[in-house]
């Protein structure tokens, strides 16, 4: 039975990836941080097969212990401070976890693997946020990185360090440059879930306003369940590499609002939406759209869920959640 260790197991992607690997027959382990993590119960309920190990990306020895106890064939580094807006207010913490945390886990894997550095395959959760002020459209693996946030800068560090460990030590270290991916498990701080939750409440008469920032930003949004499959496929390749994972379609926040409100029969959402500068960013990533040609050709990966299906899935799930009192 192959085994895998996931950092960031309590997050959106960690949960989908754990389910994906369990379904494939893996022995799945997760790193969980904090003395009383409120999301531990969620992991235990959704993926009871997972064995949890205490650890933190800022603590090298805790990662070494998790590797010793789990003895994984594959390590997926999904842990991060992942909210871009937060990264300006907490740039140091973001750098500590999202940048230096990658160095810690790479070093832990290298030391753990000993004489055979490629024995433990490694996945790094890189991000389209690294493209920032985009230098070409669409963005692919070779596009120059120009990050626009402390988060993007931290991810660029982790991305290059992953490549460096691959080239320096011969590690089987791959980096997935994933564009935005969403689901009913998305954190409520991200714009898609903020919208789906608000639309659900508005449709049920429990709210009458949604306050947002920039409505003109464009993102390439896919379904998280599809994207974790791409992560797994990367680690099954004989050679490590970097892959853009994206749908190749871009939509604005306004487009998202059109479909989300449309799901509950509201054609004109303007009366419900107010813009507040508090949700604007010091520097914005205006337009992201990915070219996932390499992932399609080498990994045989394609997205299965359309933008419209994704939005509707999220709104309907939040309506059910509100009705159930969650």
Phi, psi of 94 (to 5 degrees): -60, -45
Query: Which member of 33, 110, 112, 159 binds ligand NAP (CB under 6 A)?
Result: 33
Size of interface with ligand G4F, in residues (CB under 6 A): 24
From ligand G4F, ligand NAP, none, interface partner of 213 (C-beta below 5 to 8 A by class): ligand G4F
Q: How far is CA 183 from CA 2, 55, 280, in A?
A: 27, 26, 23
**Residue 212 interacting with ligand G4F (CB under 6 A):** yes
Q: What is the DSSP string of 42-90?
A: HHHHH-TTPEEEE--TT-HHHHHHHHHHH--SEEEE--S---HHHHHHT
Examine the residue annotation and report whether 168 is marked as an active-site residue of this protein: no
Query: Which member of 95, 124, 128, 174 binds ligand G4F (CB under 6 A)?
Result: 128
Q: Which residue(s) pair with 211 in the sheet?
A: 274
| Coil/strand/helix, residue 170 | coil
Examine the residue annotation and report whether 151 is marked as an active-site residue of this protein: yes
Identify which range of 12-20, 159-167, 191-199, 284-292 contacts ligand NAP by CB under 6 A: 12-20
180-209 mask for ligand G4F (x: CB under 6 A)? x--------xxxx-x---------------
| Coil/strand/helix, residue 287 | strand
**Residue 80 interacting with ligand NAP (CB under 6 A):** yes
| Coil/strand/helix, residue 175 | strand
218-247 mask for ligand G4F (x: CB under 6 A)? -x----------------------------
Compute the distance between CA of residue 116 and CA of residue 164 in angstroms, rounded to an integer. 17
Instruction: Give the CB-side neighbour count of residue 34, counting CA atoms within 13 A.
Output: 7
Task: Give the footprint of ligand G4F on this chain (CB under 6 A).
Answer: 82, 84-85, 127-129, 179-180, 189-192, 194, 212-214, 217, 219, 253, 279, 281, 284-285, 288
């Amino acid at each position: 039975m192959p085994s895998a260790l996931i950092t960031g197991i309590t997050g959106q992607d960690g949960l989908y990836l754990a389910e994906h690997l369990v379904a494939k027959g893996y022995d799945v382990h997760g790193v969980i941080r904090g003395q009383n993590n409120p999301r531990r119960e969620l992991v235990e309920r959704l993926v009871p097969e997972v064995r949890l190990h205490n650890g933190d990306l800022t603590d090298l020895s805790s990662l070494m212990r998790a590797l010793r106890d789990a003895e994984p064939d594959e390590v997926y580094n999904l842990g991060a401070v992942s909210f871009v807006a937060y990264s300006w207010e907490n740039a140091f913490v973001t750098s500590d976890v999202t940048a230096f945390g990658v160095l810690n886990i790479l070093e832990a894997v290298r030391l753990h693997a000993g004489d055979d550095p490629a024995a433990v395959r490694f996945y790094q959760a890189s991000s389209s946020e690294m493209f920032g002020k985009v230098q070409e459209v669409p963005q692919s693996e070779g596009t120059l990185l120009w990050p626009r946030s402390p988060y993007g800068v931290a991810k660029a560090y982790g991305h290059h360090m992953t490549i460096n460990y691959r080239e320096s030590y011969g590690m089987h270290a791959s980096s997935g440059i994933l564009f935005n991916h969403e689901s009913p498990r998305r954190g409520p701080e991200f714009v898609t879930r903020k919208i789906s939750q608000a639309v659900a409440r508005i449709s049920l008469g429990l709210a009458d306003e949604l306050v947002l920032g920039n409505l003109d930003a464009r993102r390439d949004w896919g379904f998280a369940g599809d994207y974790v499959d791409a992560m797994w496929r990367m680690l099954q390749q004989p050679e490590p590499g970097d892959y853009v994972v994206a749908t190749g379609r871009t939509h604005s926040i306004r487009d998202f609002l059109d479909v989300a409100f449309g799901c509950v029969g509201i054609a004109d959402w303007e009366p419900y939406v107010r813009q507040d500068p508090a949700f604007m960013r010091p520097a914005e990533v205006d337009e992201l759209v990915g070219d996932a040609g390499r992932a399609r050709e080498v990994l045989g990966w394609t997205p299965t869920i359309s933008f419209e299906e994704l939005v509707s899935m999220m709104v309907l799930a939040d309506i059910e959640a509100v009705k159930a009192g969650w």
